[in-house]
Structure 1
Amino acid sequence: MFSHLTKLPADPILGLSALFKADPNPEKVDLGVGVYKTADGRTPILGAVEQAFVRLSKEEGSKVYIAPTGWPGFTEACAELVFGADLRSDLGGQLGAIQTPGGCGALRLAFELIALSKPETTVWVSTPTWANHVPTLAAAGLTHSPYAYYDHGSASVDVDAMLNSLEGAAAGDVVLLHACCHNPTGADLSMSDWKRVAELLQARKLIPFLDMAYQGFAAGLSEDALAVRQIFSSQPEALLSYSCSKNFGLYRERTGALFVKGEQKDAKEALVTNLAQLARANYSMPPAHGAALATTVLEDDELRASWIDELGAMRSRVNGLRRSLAEAFKKEGCGDRFSGVARQTGMFSLLSLTPEQVAVVQKDKSIYFPANGRINVAGLTDENIPYVAKAIASVV
């Protein structure tokens, strides 16, 4: 049965990690895998999460399965974090929620629900978008179309081109949107842009699907949720995939959630039971540990305040690195070519480089990032920024 299978090439990002580890150059820099790093290159366990773990280890008492819908209180705590108390109350019985194995699990379950409801649906994705969006929707049996998004010249969103592209979408199609900290570009819509997007979605009867993997990494927890709140309050139906990997540092715990707004006032029961059945067929029950940790943090005032402070420190560090890198490029004679890095948000920026230029920087200077020019800003330090800027400036 399996004899015809051949070895596949390494994942373009994970493969870079292996090359980085094998590189003996003491000046090597890893700007590939999208995880937060401290100045000494570690991806830490947050203090609030560590305290929650100590508490949970004394109180948990069992490792029995949890329900397909998730750890008690988890989706409720995430819903309040994302939607705020008022909108969450307003949504009432329209909002269905289920815990998932990370943000990827939420995406897959959402695409399965879309395929179950309307298999001919086209999902519209930004150009570019996160590398795993299209494979995940395709695995659920859906097709996709691209919409214009990023303007390399200005290193920002071309909202007019975006809206023009979406004029080609048919009623009932799904539009996949990055809630904040767009991956891979780092370029986000302004709130006035979001208003225009919301008006188009409503006029053309399109279904918004927001992917939120970085709440708290752009401007703050509430600020980063403004677009989600605008969309969910203005659209009759909407979806949101949510990840706790970055803002809680729970990468390996696979902690996420899916929220779906239905048009009917009593849509919740139908949405949740169908999602639970899809989950049962895919992975049965979600992992409990990460959701238990996140819930413990969010439900305890002291731990929650500590977590918010830690998240703020991570955001401040990344934003500071952005400004420093943009200034270093300017000092290397690049003018405003990379000035957009300082205005962007989140962990990623898409540099206007060719694959050939990226290959030279990797070969000659041991700086590792994907061929499309996407860098993980969190992999920078105050010490290596001058080295990185000089290396990249030398090829442009």
Structure 2
Amino acid sequence: MFSALPDQPEDKILKLMQMFREDPREQKIDLGVGVYKDPDGKTPIMRAVKAAEKTLWETETTKSYVALAGAPEFNDAMVALVLGDAVPRAEAACVATPGGTGAVRQGFDLVKLGRADATVWYSSPTWGNHVSILKHMNVAHKPYRYFDAATGEVDFVGMIADLATALPGDVVLLHGCCHNPTGANLTHAQWRQVVELLNERDLIPMIDIAYQGFGDGLEEDAFGVRLVAAECPETLIAASCSKNFGVYRERTGALMAVSRGGADTVRAQKSLAYLNRQNFSFPPDHGARLVSMILTDEALKADWMAELEEVRTGMLALREQLAAELKRLTNSDRFDFIARHRGMFSMLGLSSEEMDVLRESHGIYGVSDSRINIAGLNSRTVPLLAKAVAEVVGG
């Protein structure tokens, strides 16, 4: 059997990480891997997480299973964090999942259960795992225009035109905030137009929100998901705690299915628990326990929010510094969009060949589509990147 297995394509980001590790140059910059890094290049454990872990270590008395849906207090806390008071708690079915990726996979599984003939529409470009999982699951999928590489902005006219061709019952996959890989977000007015189109066309929104708190703040970053959940009859939401709580390896996420309550919500909750059982049985609890402890303890939550704000404003400062430095060196506004984007990522608009030159000649590692991780920079390396980019585009 094993000899008949197909060769799988190499993951381009994991390959990039390996190349970076093997590069002997001291002055090299890793902007490929999608994890937050502090100015020293480390992915720290947040203060509130460390404090919660200490308390948990001292008080936890069992490692027994919790529930198929995960701990109720975690699910309640996540619904409150993501949805606020946009919908009553009784209208949101929710289960814990192994990270945001697990939530996305479970969301697609739910689509197959309830709308087997639906096409999932995804932004072009989108996070690579979206399309990879859809292909693996044999779910019909189509791209919709989203990003204009020439301007560095959302191609909203193209987006609306493409989604206007979707059929009733199709699923529209949206990024809640801090779009990955572009960093270009919808405005409030654009979110409202998307909601109008979703309802007019009888489309089902599915929102992947992996970076809440990394863009314009915890509440502001939730604007789109809350608007959609409040205004659309049904909404799927895949949420991740990897970035905003820094619990990457704990695989902490949640999948929510919002409806208007009653029998539909009960049915959705049972289906979500059923899918957990089929795919991994009981979800991981350690990271979820830490998150729920932080969100339900006033002091821990305040400290977490303060540190998250430091992370967010630090990335904004790096964006502004990089945009200003590139403007000075290129004598153009070509890269001004970097300061307007939000989250960890932006696409520089360079060709794959130019990205190769950045890597080979300057030791700067970014993905071939020109996506860079802003959090991989610090105030000392921004000028190095800007100088290298200016040389590459200047020819």
TM-score range, shorter chain: over 0.9
Q: Is the 8 A contact 1:68 1:285 kept in 2?
A: yes
Contact 1:115 1:140 (8 Å CA) reproduced? no
- Distance in structure 2 (CA, Å) of the matches to 1:355 and 1:367: 13
The answer to whether structure 1 residue 4 and structure 2 residue 4 are counterparts is yes
Question: What is the CA-CA distance between 1:77 and the residue it aligns to?
Answer: 0.5
Q: Secondary structure, in 3 states, of the residue corresponding to 1:87?
A: coil
Matched-pair contact (CA < 8 Å) for 2:86–2:227: no
Q: Distance in 1 between matches of 2:206 and 2:53?
A: 32
SS in 2 for 1:68: coil
Structure 2 letter corresponding to 1:49: V
Question: Contact (CA 8 Å) 1:211, 1:242: kept in 2 or not?
Answer: yes
Q: Secondary structure at the match of 1:260?
A: strand
Unaligned runs of 5+ in 2: none
Cα deviations across residues 368-391 of structure 1 (Å, max 9, x unaligned)? 011000000000111111111111
Residue among 229, 238, 243 paired with 2:240:
243
Farther off after superposition, 272-281 or 180-189: 272-281
Structure 1 window deviating more from structure 2 (185-194 vs 270-279): it is 270-279
Q: Deviations 1:189-216 (Å, cap 9, x if unpaired)? A: 0000001000010101000111000000
**1:358 maps to what in 2?**
355
C-alpha spacing 1:42/1:185, structure 2 compared with 1 (3 Å): same
Deviation at 1:263, TM superposition (A): 4.5
> What SS does the aligned partner of 1:359 have?
helix
Contact residue 31 and residue 376 of structure 2 kept, 8 A:
yes
Would the aligned equivalents of 1:75 and 1:98 in 2 still touch at CA under 8 Å? yes
Counterpart of 1:323 in structure 2 is: 320
Distance in 2 between the 1:36 and 1:293 partners?
19
Amino acid paired to 1:35: V
Residues 289-326 of structure 1 deviation map (CA, whole Å, 9 limit, x = unaligned): 00000001011000000000000000011000000011
Corresponding residue number in structure 1 for 2:344: 347
In structure 2, the partner of 1:83 is 83
* Distance in 2 (alpha carbons) for counterparts of 1:97 and 1:347: 27
CA distance in 2, matches of 1:313, 1:172: 41
* Corresponding residue pairs, total: 393
Residues 218, 346 of structure 1: 8 Å contact kept = yes
2: CA distance, partners of 1:264 / 1:330: 52
Pairing 1:102-141 to 2, within 5 Å after superposition: 102-141=99-138
The DSSP-based 3-state class of the residue aligned with 2:189 is helix
Tell me, in whole angstroms, the C-alpha distance in 1 between the residues paired with 2:86 and 2:7: 49
Instruction: State the percentage of identical aligned residues.
Output: 46
One-letter amino acid of the structure 2 residue matched with residue 87 of structure 1? A
Larger mean Cα displacement after TM superposition, 279-288 or 304-313: 279-288
Task: State the distance in 2 between where 1:355 and 1:167 align.
Answer: 32
Hey, what's the Cα distance between the residues in 1 that align with 2:382 and 2:59? 45
Check whether the contact 1:334–1:393 (CA below 8 A) recurs between aligned residues: no
Aligned to 1:299: 296
Matched residue of 1:44: which SS? coil
Q: TM-score, normalised by structure 1?
A: 0.97
Question: Which moves more between the two structures, 164-173 or 3-12?
Answer: 3-12
Uncovered stretches (5+) of structure 1, i.e. residues with no partner: none
Say whether 1:395 aligns with 2:386: no
CA distance in 2, matches of 1:180, 1:118: 26
**What TM-score, normalized to structure 2?**
0.97
Give how far 1:164 is off.
0.6
The answer to whether structure 1 residue 192 and structure 2 residue 189 are counterparts is: yes
1:229 counterpart = 2:218: no
Of the structure 1 ranges 154-163 and 103-112, higher mean CA displacement relative to structure 2 is found in: 154-163
The 2-side partners of 1:388 and 1:315 are apart by: 21
Residues 375-384 or 3-12, more deviating: 3-12
Structure 1 residue 337, shift from structure 2 partner = 1.1
